Amino acid sequence: MILQTVIRSGPVRGLETATPGIAAFKGIPYAKAPVGDYRWKAPVAPEAWENERLCDDFGPSCWQPDNSVLPSFKRMQELNPMPPRPLVMDEDCLSLNVWTPAESSDERLPVMVWFYGGGLQAGTSDDILFDGEGLCRFGVLLVTVNYRTGVFGYFGHPALEAENEEHSCGNYGLRDQIFALQWVKDNIAAFGGDADNVTIFGCSGGGRSVQGVACSPLGGGLVQHAICHSAGGLNPHYSMEYEPLKALGEEFVAYCGKKSIAQMREIPARELQTLYESFRKQFNITGDGYVLPYVMDEIVRRGEQADIDYLLCTMQDELIFPAKTPVSLENFDSLRNTFGLRTSILGRVVTPRSDEEAMDVVERAEAYEMKASQLAWAQVQAQQPKKPVRLGTFVHPVPSHEDGSARHGDDQAYVFHTLFKFWYPYGEKDEALSQRLMRYWTNFAKTGDPNGEGLPLWTPYTVDSPLTLTIDTDDCRMEDRSHFIIEQVAAAYRENRRG
């Protein structure tokens, strides 16, 4: 077991975990604190240290709303029998965590790097869901990364563009992730990891980050495989056009009552976060011309994403928002506008054939768009001379939901084998499915192919065989999961018909 090692910044000491043979190093700084003049700048290497650094606790989370968890995650927190860990936030938040099963630094084990979700507005690696012991039992290293979100991670402004030699702005959170991957390239061998066999994976905003890394020329050579949980794809609303981002930045500066970026950098972090929340508009990943040459859906459509192996997975039910107003064919058009851009895309490309279908479109708009965006990516890439892409849909009823649904983010506890850190009575089938997913995911990290002895075959999605793996315990098989609404929305994404 590795409990002491030396990285480029200096010597570090980790701690033994509850699982024999697995060590954890928590809160390792991978970049200098992005404070003061470093706010809204690309990350830079941290100051080196000479004395051994004890890495036994997570670093602070990056600034975000105090209530910044999705309903499904809140439900998981309710089921956690342990006292809640307070969310400690600080602008000095660029740290990462390493779990390793390696016996010495001479080993070269595959590396999995996790980006948390939260819509690029929130999230933290300090989460009971993302404990690394489960995956490490299968012979991989796990790295979880803190990165800037919200106004700290994706704010853009013409003055920021003018002050740097790349003549771009925004995407600071994405740059953090790429910088962390460079840290992995430079340092992971000290923990027994293989710097040339790295898999990135993430859920929701973390999945969008995976796509961002795959679409960025700055990420070239840092990643060999990628897994997107419930995100990514060709949905144009998953990234912002560059000029509107900068215009929104100018609007936000005026909203804050400031006249310059220098004044904006003087705003205390907590106050800036509060102002951003009251602004009620969000900054997002953008095609800035440097980190991302164009918006992400256009990069994939052009075939300029990294030529690596992909797993794209969604949940059976994803995000469902019950309509408070009855929806019918008669009032569908008016409600389409009321519900905003996401639903209007559906409303423009889908013509409901019944009152029930009209209600379904409104309530499941987010879910359909998420599934369609993943499908469209697979359909486009299947026609390109690229490495394989595989699709999966998690359909197993999750016991923590009374209706037996499988919702956005539910798969994370299965992938990390953290189900039993919660007191809800998960059963033998849940344990079996968790073991199956960990084998798929770690096989994929090792070779780019998730298949292995005793596992149902997971074939690539191709033009001639457009199949998806149905992920369940009793009935896990490849099948055609085409759906009237999803297919129409996916076609709109493939053809770049923006809402």
Q: What is the pLDDT of residue 73?
A: 47
Does a structural domain hold residue 242? yes
**How far is it, in rounded angstroms, from Cα 478 to Cα 390?**
11
Does a structural domain hold residue 43? yes
Q: Is the dihedral of CA 249, 251, 255, 257 positive or negative?
A: positive
Mean pLDDT of 28-44: 98
**How far is it, in rounded angstroms, from Cα 396 to Cα 474?**
9
Q: What is the pLDDT of residues 199-210, one digit of tens each?
A: 999 999 999 999
Q: What is the pLDDT of residue 344?
A: 54
3-class DSSP string for 151-215: HHHHCCCHHHHHHCCCCCCCCHHHHHHHHHHHHHHHHHHHHCEEEEEEEEEEECHHHHHHHHHHH
What the block records as the tokens of 257 is 């009552």
Does a structural domain hold residue 359? no
232 compared with 369, residue with greater pLDDT: 369
Q: What is the pLDDT of residues 83-137, one digit of tens each?
A: 556 688 999 999 999 999 999 999 999 999 999 999 999 999 988 889 999 999 9
State the Cα angle at 369 between 345 and 119, rounded to 5°. 110
Domain range holding 399? 4-320+386-487
Residue 69 has pLDDT above 60, yes or no: no
Does a structural domain hold residue 325? no
Site of tokens 């790349």: 166
Count of other CB atoms within 10 angstroms of residue 48: 9
Residue 343 has pLDDT above 50, yes or no: no
State the Cα angle at 144 between 143 and 145, rounded to 5°. 120
Does a structural domain hold residue 346? no
**Which domain CATH number covers 96?**
3.40.50.1820
State the Cα angle at 442 between 441 and 446, rounded to 5°. 120
**How far is it, in rounded angstroms, from Cα 182 to Cα 96?**
12
**How far is it, in rounded angstroms, from Cα 319 to Cα 205?**
14
**Amino acid making up residue 331:** N
Contact 478, 467 (CB under 8 A): yes
Residue 328 has pLDDT above 80, yes or no: no
Confidence of residue 142 (pLDDT cuts 50, 70, 90): very high
128 alpha-carbon distance from chain centroid: 17
Contact 111, 194 (CB under 8 A): yes
Q: What is the pLDDT of residue 459?
A: 98
Q: Is the dihedral of CA 202, 114, 410, 55 positive or negative?
A: negative
**How far is it, in rounded angstroms, from Cα 45 to Cα 8?**
10
3 compared with 366, residue with greater pLDDT: 3
Mean pLDDT over the full length of the chain: 89
Provide the number of structural domains found in the chain. Answer: 1
Does a structural domain hold residue 335? no
Q: What is the pLDDT of residues 377-413, one digit of tens each?
A: 999 999 999 999 999 999 988 887 777 788 888 899 9
Confidence of residue 342 (pLDDT cuts 50, 70, 90): very low
Kindly give, in sequence order, each residue whose CB lies less than 8 Å from that of residue 352, ignoring residues fewer than 6 positions away.
329, 332, 358, 360, 361
Contact 109, 140 (CB under 8 A): yes
3-state secondary structure of 24: strand
Confidence of residue 78 (pLDDT cuts 50, 70, 90): low
**How far is it, in rounded angstroms, from Cα 463 to Cα 379?**
7
Instruction: Report the relative pairing of strands 10-13 and 4-7 from DSSP bridges.
Output: antiparallel
Taking CA atoms, 31 is separated from 21, 48, 86, 156, in Å, by 29, 11, 24, 21
What the block records as the tokens of 211 is 């796509």
Mean pLDDT of 429-439: 96
Report which of 473, 474, 491 is spatially closest to residue 482, judged by C-alpha positions. Answer: 491
**How far is it, in rounded angstroms, from Cα 479 to Cα 488?**
19
Count of residues making up the chain = 499
Q: What is the pLDDT of residue 378?
A: 93
What the block records as the tokens of 297 is 């859906």
Q: What is the pLDDT of residue 367?
A: 76
Looking at residue 422, the DSSP 8-state letter turns out to be S
Residue 481 has pLDDT above 50, yes or no: yes
Does a structural domain hold residue 219? yes
Does a structural domain hold residue 355? no
* Consecutive H or E run containing 478: strand 477-479
